[in-house]
Amino acid sequence: MTQTITLSWTTICPLDRLEPDRGVAALVDGAQVALFRTPDGLFAIDNRDPVSGAYVLSRGIVGSRGGVPTVASPLHKQVYDLRSGHCLDLPGVAVARHDARCRDGLVEVRLRQEG
């Protein structure tokens, strides 16, 4: 049985520092996280592309597929659902998803770890 462990919230930056539909990388508790602000909300996933192993997802192309907010890897163009982390092009491939919120005008991220 897999259990999800959530850590504490880490403040990243003011919300107005995040450009809509652009990604940024942030270091959260020692982990590289790709953070996105879209019309659908704030999303945080691991910055590591599970296909290439490179830390590049924050530089991916933000968009949507069938109403699902997505990011496409800048290397091989696999598309990931920002809500779940699942790859929409390769079954069984996923990137870890983390919690993101805006509180008092500040963007916060909380890592989620499977354990």
Distance of CA 51 to the CA centre of its chain: 15
CATH 2.102.10.10 fits 4-114, yes or no: yes
5: pLDDT strictly greater than 90: no
Size of the chain, expressed as the number of residues it contains: 115
**37-53 pLDDT per residue, tens:** 999 999 999 999 999 99
Kindly indicate the confidence band of residue 54, based on its pLDDT and cuts at 50, 70 and 90.
very high
How many angstroms separate the CA atoms of 14 and 107, rounded? Answer: 6
Q: Where are the domains of the chain?
A: 4-114
